[in-house]
Structure 1
Amino acid sequence: MAADPDEELVRRVGAGEPAAVQTLVARKLPRILALAVRMLGDAAEAEDVAQETFVRIWRHAASWRRGNARFDSWIHRVTLNLCYDRLRRRREWVTGDLPDVADPAPLPDAHSEEEAHRVERALQAIAPRQREAIVLVYYQGMSNIEAAATLQISVDALESLLARGRRSLQAILAEDGADE
């Protein structure tokens, strides 16, 4: 396995260096926050998840050792687990739909604000594992190998999730377009 670009920084965080913590947060927060917003569809909840993710990093940095996955994969896994905890609580306590809009910023492939909202709503409507795979690959920019490691599945299983997710999104968007 190639050297982990975050290994030294995590070691310094574990040693209690305040500057290392600031650097790690500055480096990772935008992607972690974007992941949580897209998974939860709620910016305030996403901020809570991001904060909890960094608390866990701070608590476990001293004992973190490079293993099968890079630190970036591990931090994404922690964030996804926290998102799923919140999504489970929603199902237990709340009935109703997820919010319509996850992130007010247009998606990279959206041609208009309206289209961006349609894509976000569709993303929230597909199966959670499919959404997770799509978000990691298409929005977080992970390779299939990195995303599979983060999800702790094979690359073939990831590619299957991506294919099913794309088909689900296309069906939802086609149905949504037919309703207009």
Structure 2
Amino acid sequence: MPHDDVERRDSAAGRDAARLAALYDAHAAPVWRYVVHLTGDRAGADDIVQETLLRAWRTPKILEQDPSTTRSWMFTVARHLVIDEARSARRRREIDVAEVPERTAPDATDALFEAILVEEALATLTTDHRAVVVRAYYRGLSVAEMADELDIPEGTVKSRLHYGLRALRLTLQEKGVTR
């Protein structure tokens, strides 16, 4: 990049920084007091003032006007930002509370009773039938994996799984569980 371009860019950046500093010095405090008066929120006022100053800085013709006109424009922008914030979805969903509520956990009572019921029903199966049912439904093994692990033919695994599920279904029906 040529030396002249670097100097021009640095010079322009310096002028922008000076303009922004002058804008802040002249208008930030009165706009901040105005926003606090509207909202009662000192922390939120900082954000509104920052956005107002940014919009003024991005609108060069505002900065070239009379300072009272610029301040008037900034009050209007700040008021619109306050209104927008009040209407925003985020603001409507937020509720101020003194303490953060405890997190609630879903009631697991039904799941506990179901687990006990299934465990009791599984206990009524033969050891061979229970072995394939547990491997298939709780460990997620395939027929081939179960056959390899139990050292039995795949057809035997399928048969034990079929009859084991049938016996499990009958036991659960006897306990009052319906489909």
TM-score where L is the length of structure 1: 0.39
TM-score where L is the length of structure 2: 0.39
Bigger helix fraction? 2
Structure label with greater radius of gyration: 2
